[in-house]
Amino acid sequence: ISGFEKDTVIIAADTTVTMDGLILGKPEDQEDAFSMWQLLSGRTHQVMTGVAVAYLGQIQTVIVTTDVDFLRLNAAQMQSYWDSGEPIGKAGGYAIQGLGAAFIPRIQGSYSNVVGLPLVETLALLTAVIA
């Protein structure tokens, strides 16, 4: 952060999907995506985002966790979703804000966290460092 002006607000965040202690990153290929979906199918997993806000030498951080229920998918559903191209580049191999929403009957916690940035919590961090 040394390259920024001293009064620049810096926000950094990273989101990951976890299941049974495993971190599910972005699928490398179709086989990897299918493995992820088989693991997630019919179960609840966690989406975790770490957020850091820095301003004038102050740093505030938070980790937000959301529980996400995932429908049991069959091979045809997996293939169709893969063919859409949406899973590429997405942690856990799905996007709740897109077609992947059809596979998510319920979440417990922050929707925006699952999308990739927990907005309420990020605003609270911004308020804390700027106040």
Q: Of the listed 7, 14, 20, 67, which one is catalytic?
A: 14
Annotated catalytic, 14? yes
Helix runs in the chain, H state only = 30-40, 75-84, 111-115, 119-130
Tell me the C-alpha distance between 28 and 67, whole Å. 24
d(C-alpha 117, C-alpha 120), whole Å = 9
3-state secondary structure 15-52: EEEEECCEEECCCCCHHHHHHHHHHHCCCEEEEEEEEE
**Both structure tokens of 5:** 């002006």
Using the structure block, give the residue that is written with the tokens 């927990």.
118
Active site residues: 14
